[in-house]
Structure 1
Amino acid sequence: MTTAQDLITLVRAYNPKTNAQLLADAYAYGEAMHEGQFRHSGDPYFTHPVAVACILAEMQLDDATIVTALLHDTIEDTKSTYGEVALKFGTEVAELVDGVTKLTNLQLNSTETKQAENFRKLFMAMSKDLRVILVKLADRLHNMRTIKSMRPEKQVQKARETMDIFAALAGRMGMQWMRDELEDLTFQVLNPEARTSIIRRFITLQRETGDVIHKITGDIQLELSKANIEAQVYGRAKKPYSIWRKMEEKQLSFSRLSDIYGFRVICRTEMECYRILGAIHQRWRAVPGRFKDYISQPKSNGYRSIHTTVSGRDGKRVEVQIRTRQMHEVAETGVAAHWSYRDGVRVQNPFAVDPVKWIASLTERLDTAEDHEDFLEAVKLEMYQDQVFCFTPKGDVVKLPRGATPLDFAYAIHTRIGDSCVGAKVDAIRVPLWTRLKNGQSVEIITAEGQRPQTTWIDIVATGRAKTAIRRSLREEDRERFIKLGLELARVAFDHVGKRMSDRALTTAARRLSLNSSDELLARLGSAELPARKVVQVLYPELTVKPGDEIEPSRAIVGLSPNQTFARAECCQPVPGERIVGITYRGMGVRIHAIDCPALTDFEEETDRWVDLTWHSGPHAAVHTVSFDMTISNDAGVLGRICTLIGEQKANISDLRFSDRKQDFFRLVIDVDLRDAEHMHAVRLALEADSDVATIRRHRDLKRKP
């Protein structure tokens, strides 16, 4: 185990003015508090806090952060208290240790709703002092390095949590080396066979082609020498997980991957960065679309570098990153560069981002989410996606995640601009709203008074801010329509059980369902969030239907003579809950038509054939077939999802036939077996809500009259 003196020596190497006594006292206190405790591996527990402190010392962080690492588990796992730590080591350290303890207790691998709340707490802790998350990341890195001593199921749980949260967060903070190592350690646990396979293929490739990295490094160094540029060139093979992710995203085999090597050129000045870029592009052909200038447009975490991909030796694609030494220090440590020390003083790196401003920019766009689901989606979108930088017509820069569209751009400027957007120009050319924006483009948003967000916009936008704003606007706009529809569904449900719907009944049902008002109850009914059947059940539990209690199809109609037979007319396909009338046919019994069926005009002069009928009151079996005429997108998985949506509504598809097939859409008729009008409305609403359903209407075929 690293001794106290070893740790002090490590810190003194970059901070000669370190408070050695403070480090020694923290080491002794932590060791005493954890005495008698052991890790799963059997090692003394204190080896873990010491290892975490060493990781942070390698990042050249300040004394308070190193001391926090030594004590980060004392308040949680020992008899130590916040007050005692504050008394011995100061309020700053006590606050940091307490913050790490709270992060540890968040249980970030919990359910979606709880996870969203945990993310809120995590960002709150980060906003207080970002060093808390630096200690936590180092803590997780050491735990992943020693994970083999855990039970297999615990390994998988920790690995997934690390991949989903901590690796992504490290990348967002600009700590790319830590992200790479966390992802690789996680990859070893979650998919060891794939990782081993990639490493084997690398070994085979090296055997066949020789030391490609050494050769290409020499090629680049030669070109720089010709241009009289002094710089260091470093090459490496990309990490196994990075290669695996690229294989999965592009659906390519290892042999077809081209840019599996990365090279870094580090120079002295920003001017030299661009000279190096020119020398490389003069010697090798640049790959279109693979150039990014993060020097002129830095990332929000302070990252600056030029990225280019060229066709290098033997046609192999080679990614080259060009940056100065100061840019490199920020690229390696990200936001942590703010606390880095050298020669006893905090490093004054002009590219190090102010952590307070950085965390404020990250959380600002997450504060508008109204519920857990929206917040969690916004967090993941903000954390996991790289950025593009676009310009307003006035030249202001707008930062967006990769894959963002003009709609995201509009909402990034202001919610009002997004809501009223009707079009966009990119580099002065009119483009569709679903166009994916690229770095450096100028975007002009076209608005119109009276324009409102469309349901399909949810699938177009990429940012959490835009998705939240669109959903909020749609909820407000749809509320009135849903209330009207809910009123009709409630009326049908009450009629089924022979009860009269009233304002008092709806208010009572809303209260029993823990809803604020009868309007909220109706809105949920209309949006299919709440079945009308449940409203009736909470008011009249004695009428709750048990399996087998449905009305038999042969007794569904009231008003027939004892010897009369009946069948539903295929032209209008009436269902229980709809007003109906019967038409008698010689030798065929009675055909049941919906009261608004166009076919009834044929019998206006034959009133003696009309029979006044109603549906039997009560629950009906799902045997009443209704045909829906639909137009859906011709995309993979759409038809399967449509069938799943119908199944989720406890409805059965009895037939399906296509009436038109085009390159971009299908038109089809689906026959669905339903219980009643309420059931039909629920199925239709579920289908209308799907963004790939362009139109849906009830199919009525007058050619199929009796």
Structure 2
Amino acid sequence: MNIINGNSSVTTKPADTGSVTPMQTQGSVPAPKNQAPSSASAMRNTPASTGVASTTALSAKLSEYMSPADLKLVKEAYRFSDEMHLGQVRKSGEPYISHPIAVAEICADWKLDVQAIMAALLHDVMEDQDVKKEELIERFGAPVATLVDGLSKLEKIEFQSQIEAQAENFRKMLLAMARDVRVILVKLADRLHNMRTLGVMVPEKKRRISRETMDVYVPIAHRLGLNNIYRELQDLAFSHLYPMRYRTLSKAVKAARGNRREVVNKIMDAVKTSLREAGLQAEVYGREKTLYGIYRKMHDKHLSFSQVLDVYGFRIVVSDFRESYYALGTLHALYKPMPGKFKDYIAIPKTNGYQSLHTTLIGPYGTPVEFQIRTQDMHHVAESGVAAHWLYKNEEGSLSDLQHRTHAWLQSLLDIQKQTGDSAEFLEHVKVDLFPDSVYVFTPKSKIIALPRGATALDFAYNIHTDIGDQAIATRINHEPVPLRSELKNGDIVEIITSPDSRPTPNWLTYVRTGKARSAIRHYLRTINLNESTELGKQLLAQALLSVNLNPELPDALIDKLLNESTAKEIDEIYTDIGIGKRMAALVARHILDLVEDDSSSIPFQHYGDKQSAKRDPVIIYGSEGLSVQLAPCCLPIPGDGIVGQLKRDQGLIVHTDDCEHAKRLHIKEPDRWIDVNWGEDLNRRFDSRIVVTVSNERGALARIAAEIGESDANISHVNMEDGDANDMTHIHFTIQIEDRAHLARIMRNIRHLNGVTRILREHS
């Protein structure tokens, strides 16, 4: 197939005619990027904006696996894209059509179907040339139009910030990916070609695009098992983020190749000989670590380049998985394995479907050498990941293990979207799940569950089902009862204990790791505490308005104007967002002030004369507000303590004592999130407080102290003991429920007078 020749109305002149280039024949300066051609006839009569040579590789790759009917459809998509991008050039000066062709060529390497190749050729026509989705549906069908729409950015929507726009773009792309994985495959091909040609951009834009690539696209490529793309994107992003480090490291690696060639050749010959003598037909490859991989190891372990000994590794590809283990034994007989450096990803594959045996051996001259052993099929999946099986069903109509895992992860994106309030939060949750490290744990029925490194038992519960997570009260790990916050390790057997009366608390957000668990907890807290959060937000906004000399009573005209410029549909949504810490009251008040000043003639509103006349009342705390107001566990404030309030995202108002060291550190990081708070009157409830009593290690000491606490009209909710500095002393830690600071002082005074008590202190964590 030749895309340009055949029935296409766009032509090029032969290279040997001596004619000028196609761009020169247009006789004018190339049109700006977003400027469409002036007329259809001009597009038909103007030579194509790219030459035959630029489509030769694409034509050859597509001809290997497409039917003539499919090739004809691709040709039509190419014609349309070429016409739409006519006169448009890239920053490098190349015709813009060269970019869609390059993206389609990368997709052809994965042997994607005709609809995906057409989408690759058309992926910028909606964004750059304002082509409507309806026109694409009419010309190329709904599936192709849907793919292109999922790839297009939302440039026509007014966003509050560039960050919000970026987050919304990613949200749309990821949700489109969840419905059709081809969207992300084309998008990754698009990003790869852009990164390959990033050199012409200004340094600031290079860094921004490279950081975005490293933060989002690299982990997505890894999560989908696209290891070739993953490694290349990493190195390209590294080269633009840290160009000096990249160049220095590149020179060092080139120099090391010569120095280590003898060692590499010696290992290669020895391995090939050993495998042949063992009767194994295997392919052996030398493999050099990527520059970014070397740099990250140097950075993480504080090593110099000369200390990174495993710059080279080896890959062994055998016929079947049994031979993989046979080859492993052969290698271990040849060189001594390093303890703790063996990983079996064949028995327990990675979440992205990757399978191999990894082992590190002590080679000649004491050099550690890493080996990867896999079958041909495993090698294919390791390099191409989900692109090796991009269709959801294989020829037998069943899902492979890799497809099951990928489909489950993509489905989880849709679940998170249902529970998430905005694009930035959605992206935050998804990025958490994109980190490559995983732990593998077992259910009581021996099913393997993969979770991110650092995941807790509560993450496991939400991974099983949202209802299991919401109702979790305890867990057993390896048949031992442990707290829900316990971090999981490889091989743990995890059992979750539930109760219909259990419900999520804001504190759970501090120790969950996965996006699914975090979004489910936040969703529950938002819905269950809606009224409390709304009232708190209204109070906080009133205080913030007073601080900028505005009347807290907002007129309807101003409320309507505020809603028109936000994503909220009614004012209570804004109050709720403030109450749960999602919006800052001070920023909303500042925005309202700008609206008043910009349109003071049409919005009747009362200004206070000056700041002195604006009374700023603190928020009153009663301790019975529910989950929208929490007493910080680090200091456990009680009535009578001086207190301050911190607005924490999705956790509402957190109240600390004014001398809390943890609060002081948080205040330095986010000073704008702190407000004045005071205790209310007639607090009809008990408050937790911690005390530590140092007592002589003698019989009956604990009983005497517990009895005194009871007689002082307090309740013990928790107690534990530890040995003191001296052998005959013990520290007893109590959590007791009291009325206020005066009540606590009376209890401590009574305990201090008991025999054997040498010290008593109020305890802060």
- TM-score for both structures, normalised by structure 1: 0.67
Structure 1 residues 60 and 478: CA distance shift in structure 2, 3 A = closer
What is residue 323 of structure 2 aligned with on the other side? 272
- Cα contact 2:173–2:183 (8 A) shared by 1: no
What are the within-5 Å matches in structure 2 for residues 13-412 of structure 1?
Answer: 13=64, 20-23=71-74, 27=78, 30-74=81-125, 76-77=127-128, 90-91=140-141, 95-96=143-144, 99-100=147-148, 102-106=150-154, 111-338=162-389, 353=403, 357=407, 360-372=410-422, 373-412=424-463
Partners in 2 of 1:191 and 1:648 — Cα distance?
34
Structure 2 counterpart of 1:568: none
Q: Is the 8 A contact 2:133 2:149 kept in 1?
A: no
Moved more, 178-187 or 97-106: 97-106
Distance between the aligned counterparts of 2:537 and 2:486, measured in 1? 37
Asked whether the 8 Å contact 2:544–2:589 carries over to 1, the reply is no
Q: Tell me the residue number matched to 1:544.
A: 608
Q: 1:649 aligns with which of 674, 683, 688?
A: 674
CA drift of 1:382 comes to: 2.0
- Distance in 2, matches of 1:520 and 1:32, equals 47
| SS of 2:440 mapped into structure 1 | strand
Amino acid at match of 1:99: L
Task: Tell me the alpha carbon deviations over residues 204-262 of structure 1, each in whole angstroms, 9 at most, x when there is no partner.
Answer: 43344445443433343333234322211222221112222333334444344454333
C-alpha deviation, 1:549, in angstroms: 5.8
Work out the CA distance in 1 between the residues paired with 2:659 and 2:137.
71
User: How far apart are 1:82 and its partner, in Å?
Assistant: 6.1
Query: Equivalents in 2 of 1:488, 1:286: separation in Å?
Result: 65
d(CA) in 2 for partners of 1:161 and 1:367?
Answer: 21
Contact 1:339 1:346 in 2 (8 A): no
Displacement after TM superposition at 1:643 (Å): 3.6
CA contact (8 A) 1:73 1:101 kept: no
Q: What amino acid maps onto 1:169 in structure 2?
A: I
For the residues of structure 1 that align with 2:138 and 2:558, how far apart are their CA atoms?
A: 55
> How far off is 1:548 after superposition?
6.0
| Cα distance in 1 for residues equivalent to 2:305 and 2:367 | 13
8 Å CA contact 2:416–2:519 kept in 1: the answer is no
Match of 1:436 in 2: 487
Greater shift, 206-215 or 377-386, is seen at: 206-215
Instruction: Quote the Cα distance in structure 2 between the aligned partners of 1:42 and 1:65.
Output: 27
Residues 272 and 203 (structure 1 numbering): CA distance in 2 closer, same or farther, change over 3 Å? same
Q: Deviations over 1:151-207 (max 9, x none)?
A: 333333332332233222222221110111112112221110111122223234334
Aligned residue for 2:450, secondary structure, equals strand
Q: Does 1:628 align with 2:658?
A: yes
Q: Is the 8 A contact 1:301 1:353 kept in 2?
A: no
Mark the CA change 1:432 to 1:291 in structure 2 (over 3 Å): closer, same or farther: farther
1:473-532 Cα shifts (integer Å, max 9, x gaps): 455676787789889989999999xxxx9xxx7999997987968899599569796479
> Which whole-Å deviations, capped at 9, do the CAs of 1:41-60 have from their partners, x for residues lacking one?
22223322222232223333
Say if 1:45 and 1:297 are closer, same or farther in 2 by CA, change over 3 A: same
Q: What is the rounded CA distance, in whole Å, between the counterparts of 1:299 and 1:529 in structure 2?
A: 41
Partner of 2:725: none
Output aligned runs, 1:299-698, within 5 Å.
Answer: 299-338=350-389, 353=403, 357=407, 360-372=410-422, 373-447=424-498, 450-474=501-525, 530=585, 542=606, 544=608, 546-547=610-611, 628-630=658-660, 632=662, 640-645=665-670, 649=674
Q: Give the superposition deviation at 1:325.
A: 0.7
- What is the CA–CA distance in structure 1 between the aligned matches of 2:443 and 2:115, rounded to whole Å? 43
- What is the root-mean-square deviation in Å for CA atoms of aligned residues? 5.2
The CA distance in 2 between the partners of 1:525 and 1:348, in whole Å, is 48
Q: Which residue of 1 aligns with 2:39?
A: none
Amino acid at match of 2:608: T
Residues of 1 paired with 2:357 and 2:233: CA distance?
25
Checking the alignment, whether the CA contact within 8 Å between 1:335 and 1:354 is kept in structure 2 is no
Cα distance change on mapping 1:207 and 1:520 into 2, 3 Å: closer
CA distance in 1, matches of 2:620, 2:420: 37
Go from structure 1 to structure 2 and tell me whether the alpha carbon gap of 1:699 and 1:312 turns closer, same or farther (over 3 Å shift): farther
Question: Do the aligned residues in 2 keep the contact of 1:326 with 1:349 (CA within 8 Å)?
Answer: no
d(CA) in 1 for partners of 2:229, 2:306:
28
Q: Which AA in structure 1 matches 2:610?
A: K
SS in structure 1 of the partner of residue 359 of structure 2? strand
* Contact 1:411 1:418 survives alignment (8 Å): yes
Percentage identity across aligned positions? 36
After superposition, the Cα gap between the structure-2 partners of 1:494 and 1:397, relative to the gap in structure 1 and judged at 3 Å, is: closer
Which SS does the other structure have where 1:133 is aligned? helix
> Given the two structures, how large is their TM-score scaled by the length of structure 2?
0.63
CA distance in 2 between partners of 1:334 and 1:576 (Å): 54
SS in 2 for 1:41: coil
What is the distance in 2 between the residues matched to 1:648 and 1:491? Answer: 15
Judge conservation of contact 1:304–1:331 (CA < 8 Å) in 2: yes
For residue 383 of structure 1, give the secondary structure of its aligned residue in structure 2: coil
User: Which SS does the other structure have where 1:183 is aligned?
Assistant: helix
Specify whether residues 73 and 169 from structure 1 end up closer, same or farther in structure 2 by C-alpha distance, changes over 3 A only: same
Q: Indicate conservation of the 8 Å contact 1:389/1:440, yes or no.
A: yes
- Is the CA contact (8 Å cut-off) linking 1:266 and 1:322 kept in structure 2? yes
Shift of 1:641: 3.0
Query: Residue 384 of structure 1 aligns to a residue in which SS?
Result: coil
Structure 1 gaps of 5+ residues are 552-574, 579-595, 599-625, 633-637, 652-659, 662-693
User: Which structure ranks higher in relative contact order (CA pairs < 8 Å, sequence separation ≥ 6)?
Assistant: 1
CA shift in 2, pair 1:246/1:362, >3 Å: farther
Aligned-partner Cα distance in 1 for 2:368–2:295: 17
- Alpha carbons of 1:185 and 1:526: their partners in 2 closer, same or farther (altered >3 Å)? closer
Change (3 A) 1:152 1:645: closer
Q: Which amino acid aligns with 1:369?
A: Q
2-structure distance, mates of 1:520, 1:348 = 47
Unaligned runs of 5+ in 2: 1-50, 597-602, 622-638, 642-655, 677-690, 693-734, 746-765
Distance in 1 (CA, whole Å) between partners of 2:100 and 2:372 is: 35
- 2:545, 2:189 → 1: CA distance? 61
TM-aligned CA distance change 1:429 to 1:251, over 3 Å: farther
Say which is worse superposed, 304-313 or 512-521, in terms of deviation: 512-521
1:421 to 1:250, Cα distance in 2 relative to 1, 3 A: farther
Structure 1 residues 518-574: Cα deviation after superposition (integer angstroms, max 9, x where no partner) = 8995995697964799799999975737356689xxxxxxxxxxxxxxxxxxxxxxx
Aligned equivalents of 1:519, 1:6: Cα separation in 2 = 54
Distance 2:505 2:116 in 1: 49
